[in-house]
Structure 1
């Protein structure tokens, strides 16, 4: 499909879908606690399995990771995708073909799926928002076309694998914008919004029912959250759910979730926590924090919480905020937080 016809389609069908999505947004956020989503980002799983890493349940029996997670009430997975990743096990992979294949496995396991676009060749986060190498020298107009093409293509790859994502996150921890400097919040909020709206519209073209998430980090810094959302709204930004990352302690959870609630009330969109984690060597404290976040999120009508890479363990990764014991290959007591809350 040509770029011109795609944009024509966006102006028709997608505008209608967006209007429908905008109407019931607060109703989604006011869903009952029974609908609260408990999820996990497990994007490292294929690389770990390829490296011979296995997983045991709490009794010590080796099982498929999906089976173990379901035993803790996990019903959804979040899967990132990079544009042109390297073959590095920890910092690469996650091409759309790999991500779609993992999404297909998740669907077969009875899980709901969230696709997490980083719009880079490797990690993008609150402090780093680098465009894919192939986009780096593009003008804004060229990058806008690339965004339309990329999201349209990748969503269709997911569709070809028989998966309909419930949620699609456009950008990862985008407090300072995306594909900087072209889409930097500080310099080009209009271009930032244009790129994100292009992604939004292509998601809705392929999957009209999918909820599109804008993802921001560090909700404890509410002024920065407000600065982004004010600029995004002012330039016509489109989204369905405001998503957050937070790795705070149990004692910090009420205040941090309170800030999420302020965003919910101010901008009229339901909220979700798509990243949480805590020290693997302090499992009791991490479990308490997980329970505190879930409890507080439920109290404000939050949609759910996803643990970031609970299955990651040494020596595959030096990341120390998973929820698996490297020596026993069993989940730690942290995972009981999903059941306790």
Structure 2
């Protein structure tokens, strides 16, 4: 998830092939945040792509036999050191503790940490991620490393080359990506908290490291250039991984409810000979469609590619109120496609995460591997950029006093979930 910037290029779906799809309503989260900062209103958005087929199965209310818990039950906790510095303290069932410890106590087993190359002071730099990784490791949690290859937020509409890398041609930039990735992986291993999974880029639906690795341009689609950079990152990660340690690699896009767009991307990436382990998807219902859309997409991807599937980012509102002066990304309950079943209340949020677990359990061949809630502890007091507010404070798993909401235990429990 990333909160500002210009609208991304339209991403084709399979139904548009071989042409392009243009949807002027598909804005990035950064565009929305810039708009809220200017006092503009928000509109409900859905991702571009072919309409999803009817879901095989149901994501309805529990009542059937129990299904096993997802093998990955994680959270992106990248803002944790900033929230702590702001005086935010977390508690679960009356017990206070660091976020990673509360996650582990609830049943979580992974955290996700983003790293920017040269960010604003205090924002997701390597040193901060290393400290969080050490804390997570001490708590018994595995680490997914989210490399943005940018100095600040990267998403489908914003993939800026780090300032220090500007002017490099494709060959030089690929060498830089490989070295940077290897050095970063080495840093985690050296301190005794080796990375367990790594993303080569964040929401790389339209490429990375623009303009060199941008896929969609006025001159046409440039998959070989993008693939060259991804392969360089993968090679660097594998070369630096400690001997005997298992490192999984992920490609992450933002097409959770869009099967056409997902197939368009992964068909073309695999045709370039890119070898990776895990398919990652962002899925925010208010942007990416219903749980039925997600179900249909994950079922098709499992059958089509045979790779583990992870919902790498997700969140759901527990309120439509606002915890600070900056308007939230989600302000309209009608933007929730399943809002009648899962309203924007603490109970509705908990029911959403139970349903998400059931969706993952139903993916063919056991490939619905798990999920990461995005920044469940990002409470008011920490801005999306220095001096700004928080547009995410109604999508957390804690209330604004730092108390865990019901969804916290529902999401992370290692116990089986009732099937639909």
State the TM-score, normalizing by the size of structure 2.
0.69
Tell whether 2:357 aligns with 1:294.
Answer: yes
What are the ranges of 5 or more consecutive residues in structure 2 without an aligned counterpart?
1-66, 320-343, 383-389
1:40 aligns with 2:75: yes
Q: Distance in 1 between matches of 2:149 and 2:180?
A: 9
* SS in structure 1 at match of 2:315: coil
Determine if the alignment matches structure 1 residue 72 to structure 2 residue 106. Answer: yes
1:170 matched residue in structure 2: 200
2:315 counterpart (277, 282, 286):
277
Q: Deviations over 1:207-259 (max 9, x none)?
A: 26200000011222222211211211111111101011102279921331320
- For 1:304, the equivalent position in structure 2 comes to 370
What pairs up with 1:208-247 in 2 under 5 angstroms? 209-247=246-284
Structure 1 residue 331 and structure 2 residue 404: aligned? yes
| Separation in structure 2 between the aligned mates of residue 245 and residue 184 of structure 1, nearest angstrom | 20
Deviation track 1:129-154 (CA, whole Å, cap 9, x = no partner) reads 22212223221111111101110111
Aligned to 2:252, the other structure's residue is in SS state strand
Partner Cα separation in structure 2 for residue 97 and residue 126 of structure 1: 26
Q: Does 1:114 align with 2:188?
A: no
Q: CA RMSD in A?
A: 2.0
On the 8 A contact 1:261/1:271 being kept in 2, the answer is no
1:20 is aligned to none
How many residues are paired up?
A: 304
In structure 1, list runs of 5 or more residues that go unmatched. 1-31
Which deviates further from its counterpart, 144-153 or 199-208?
199-208
On the 8 A contact 1:220/1:259 being kept in 2, the answer is yes
Contact 2:178 2:233 (C-alpha < 8 Å) held by counterparts: yes
**Which is bigger in relative contact order (C-alpha 8 A, separation at least 6)?**
2
Alpha-carbon separation, structure 2, partners of 1:167 and 1:158: 12
- If each structure's helix is expressed as a fraction of its own residues, which one has the higher value? 1
CA distance in 1, matches of 2:102, 2:224: 44
- The 1:290/1:34 distance shift into structure 2, 3 A limit, reads closer
Q: Given the alignment of the two structures, is residue 313 of structure 1 paired with residue 383 of structure 2, yes or no? A: no
1:19-61 Cα deviation digits (max 9, x unpaired): xxxxxxxxxxxxx9456211111010011112222112232x3
For the residues of structure 2 that align with 1:333 and 1:34, how far apart are their CA atoms?
Answer: 17
Preserved contact between residue 213 and residue 229 of structure 2 (Cα < 8 Å): yes
Equivalent pair of 1:81/1:99 in contact (CA under 8 Å): yes
DSSP 3-state at the match of 2:298 = helix
Distance 1:184 1:95 in 2: 24
For 1:62 and 1:33, locate their aligned partners in 2 and report how far apart those are by CA, in whole Å. 29
SS of the equivalent of 1:183 reads coil
- Sort the Cα spacing of 1:126 and 1:288 in 2 relative to 1 into closer, same or farther, 3 A: farther
Deviations 1:53-99 (CA, angstroms, capped at 9, x unpaired):
2112232x322222211222111101110011112x5xxx2112221
Measure how far apart 1:325 and its partner are: 0.8
CA distance in 1 between partners of 2:291 and 2:110 (Å)? 22
2:333 matched to which residue of 1? Answer: none
CA distance in 1, matches of 2:193, 2:157: 32
The counterpart of 1:200, out of the listed 234, 244, 265, is: 234
2:189 equivalent in structure 1: 159
For residues 258-301 of structure 1, the C-alpha deviation after alignment (integer angstroms, 9 at most, x for no partner) is: 20221222122111111110113122222222111111101112
Q: Which of 211, 228, 231 matches 1:181? A: 211
TM-score, scaled to structure 1: 0.84
- Is the 2:376–2:396 Cα contact (8 Å) retained in structure 1? yes
Q: Helix, strand or coil for the counterpart of 1:130?
A: coil
What's the CA shift for 1:192?
0.4
